Chain A
Amino acid sequence: MTALLKIENLSKVYDDDSREHAVIDNLSLEVEQGEFLCILGPSGCGKTTLLRCIAGFERCRGRILVDGREIAGPGTDRIMVFQDFNQLFPWLTVERNIQYALKCQGVRDRRKLADIAADVLAKVKMSGFEKHYPYQLSGGMKQRVAIAKALALKPAIILMDEPFAALDAITRNTLQQEVLAISRQEKCTIIFITHNIQEGIVLGTRLMLMQHGGRVAMDLRNPIPRPVSPSSPGYGALWDRMHAALYATQEV
């Protein structure tokens, strides 16, 4: 069986970057269907860059294959949930934001559009906000809608770049639980970047630690059975191990 996502010898140098080292230098990675890959790593090590390369927003060297086909630019098989709360189009209501994405995919039937929007909004617990404009929502609500939009498109992979980093701890925990529930129900493949070790352990079926230059410092299957909580056996040990490794990469 071939991996859903296959990255071969990816290298990325920003045009306006004066440093001689590539941000990502010869990175190879495979992600299986249904995996929830959490990527951690020190600030500036190239996590966002990697995700943007996968999304097709950046020009880069190497090959990125989804389902065996090499990608050429952005596509709806890889939907990005950005870190920025302002990723919804402010001129469209919550419902229209989702339907617009579907319409771009050629879904024309009104009933179907309404049904899909209602369905995905229910999944992220945003029913009742269909007619709201994004400026009327809180940051956490905007992120829920962004996730709903991604779900509506049924992409092969959902890419999430620290989507909850700017949220308070309680909202963050709630959203983690919801994303976890959704990922188990939908069996979707998710690549999720986070700075938070707890978040990585709770969500990820696989944990990867990135280092400067896009080198993979650690890549392991999450040994703790879901649902994970801080009282799960092995949680403390794994947390310590991740923490130590994260600090080790920081020193380089």
Chain B
Amino acid sequence: MKDSVRSLLQKVAFVAVLLAAWEIAARAHVFGPRSEIIFPTLEAVGAAFVKNFAKGYAGVTLWVYLANSMKLLLAGMGIGIGMAFLCSGLSMVSRTFHNLYSLLVAVADLLPGVALLPVVIIIFGVKPGVIVFLVVHSVVWPMSRNLIDGFRAVPRLYVEAGMNIGLSRAGLLFGIYIPAAMSYILSGLKVGWARAWRGLISAEMIFGIASAPGIGLFINQMRTNMNNAEMYATLVVIIIIGLIVQYGILNPIEKHTVGKWGMRKS
């Protein structure tokens, strides 16, 4: 308990120092007349933060943008994680499938999703599904890589003990492989989530879709209008959501699984 309090205090102090440095830079006008654009004061960013949610842009509040992004993100992550489990599970059953799928993962993971977007748009048109495609692309490969590695690393002993107590193939997958590979699954989720979140925002910035305006489009609008305080305030929103997912969802899952089981990857 004491350790966690200390670690929290350290983090708070670190953030406070960064914010203070920012504020000093803002007040000192280190960049001369351009300073207000580069370093708006904390007060201006704070006011912009409130304004984003209260008034937004052209009558649409940031809540709407956020909700649109989240919908696409959740859909994409759901599909991506599901596909990763399915394909990694299949590659445990069939050697041929494993061979080909590993190659696909190795190749596809290298491709920047944004580069594929024009092609996807030509095929599907400018629809929210394009963004979902990109999120799936950023989640499915790192997740698969981790799942395959995790399943391969399951000790033979657990599998044999599982067979001995009468588990079927499906029983082995759910009862042995998945819990035994939990630390790999979690690191896959962490990498996948970070990539998906960033991928979503870049895709929205480049190909903002008017029918479902997302947070990336909002940033782009603020950026092109030189509303930098609003732009920074939106980045703060992105950071906050990232922190909520990391500390509010992923870390507790880790604590209540591999942490509790003494199975943390060292």
Contact = CB atoms under 8 A, between A and B. Distances in A.
A42 interface: no
Interface stretch (A9-17, A63-71, A76-84): A76-84
Contacts, number: 63
Contact of B182 (A78, A91, A153): A91
B165 A86 contact: no
A105 interface: yes
Nearest to A136: B262
A104 interface: yes
A211 B2 CA distance: 59
B164 A80 contact: yes
Given A104-B171, A135-B261, A87 B161 contact: yes
Contacts of B257: 91
Contacts of A56: 163
**Secondary structure call for the B interface:** helix
Contacts of B263: 90-91, 135
A74 interface: yes
Interface in B159-217: 160-161, 163-167, 171, 175-176, 179-180, 182
Nearest to A101: B165
A133 B262 contact: yes
Interface string A124-168: 000000000111100000000000000001000000000000000
Nearest to A57: B160
B6 to A, nearest CB: 25
Nearest to A98: B165
B155 to A, nearest CB: 7
A247 interface: no
B157 interface: yes
Contacts of A100: 165, 175
A100 B166 CA distance: 11
Contacts of A136: 262
A85 to B, nearest CB: 10
B28 to A, nearest CB: 54
A104 B167 CA distance: 6
A5 B161 CA distance: 21
Given A84-B157, A100-B175, A90 B163 contact: no
Interface residues of A, number: 26
Contacts of B179: 89, 91
A52 to B, nearest CB: 9
A101 B175 CA distance: 11
Contacts of A90: 261-263
Contacts of B164: 55, 74-76, 78-80
A80 B261 CA distance: 23
B95 interface: no
A73 interface: yes
A143 to B, nearest CB: 13
Contacts of B161: 80, 82, 87, 89
Nearest to B182: A91
B261 A133 contact: yes
A79 B162 CA distance: 11
A104 to B, nearest CB: 5
B261 A91 contact: yes
A136 B263 CA distance: 12
A105 B166 contact: yes
B112 to A, nearest CB: 37
Contacts of B160: 55, 57, 74, 80, 82
B247 interface: no
B165 A153 contact: yes
B168 to A, nearest CB: 9
Contacts of A133: 260-262
A74 B163 contact: yes
A135 B263 CA distance: 8
Contacts of A73: 163
B166 A75 contact: yes
22 contacts: A56-B163, A74-B160, A75-B164, A75-B166, A76-B164, A76-B166, A80-B164, A82-B160, A82-B161, A86-B155, A89-B158, A89-B176, A89-B179, A89-B180, A90-B261, A91-B180, A91-B182, A91-B257, A100-B165, A135-B261, A135-B263, A136-B262
Interface of B: 155, 157-158, 160-161, 163-167, 171, 175-176, 179-180, 182, 257, 260-263
Across chains A and B, which 3 residue pairs bring their CB atoms closest together, nearest first?
A: A135-B262, A101-B165, A91-B179
